[in-house]
Structure 1
Amino acid sequence: MGNPHNPAFVPNLLTSFSDKMSFIQRLRNTFMEGIFIAFHKSQEVLITQKYVNQYFGEDVPSLSELVRNTSLLLLNTHFTLNRPRPLLPSVIEVGGLHIKSPKQLPT
């Protein structure tokens, strides 16, 4: 999607850091982000691509091509529950969309 992810102020999911990190925490966060990206590209994408080919056939575009051609991403998150991070206009948080107004309890 091309959404920026700067490990200097956006904590990695595998760490317990907040968005206010010390210099050492930023270094550790950058290192963890590098490991996360390497694992994602070397393992996760290959395994997922194998299943995509198995269940949808070989004529389906590759996952990297699908990601490149994605024009809208709906995230099941809400900004009040997450740390601050930059999002592109094509990335929309829709968490809580399924919640309806409460009904009056029967008396």
Structure 2
Amino acid sequence: MSTIPQPPEPGKGASREDIEADIDATRDRLADDVAALADKVNVPGHVKARIDQTRGNVGQAARHARRQATQRARTLPRSAQLAIPGALATLGLILIIVGRRRRAR
């Protein structure tokens, strides 16, 4: 897994320090490989990261849409600006009435 080129193993007649240094270097490379494998198989971690990324994207898109809607609403004629809240209130009343009729059944 390691992409770092491995140094050659100490040859015959290598000093104790050379052998210990080689062992330490091998342990470090092995630890890096194990950490990389653990990260690869950490599915919950990948899912959480993807969820966080998606939340950020959705939040950004919502803020953008809100800004656009506000800008467009400001360019509407005054009569349309007054009609929108009335239409929303009417829609809310219709939904309440329909909901009550369904519960009454």
- Please, what TM-score do these two structures have when normalized by structure 1? 0.29
Please state which structure has a larger fraction of its residues in helix: 2
Determine which structure has greater relative contact order: mean sequence separation of CA pairs < 8 Å that are 6+ residues apart, divided by chain length: 1
Please state which structure has a larger fraction of its residues in strand: 1
Structure of greater Rg: 2
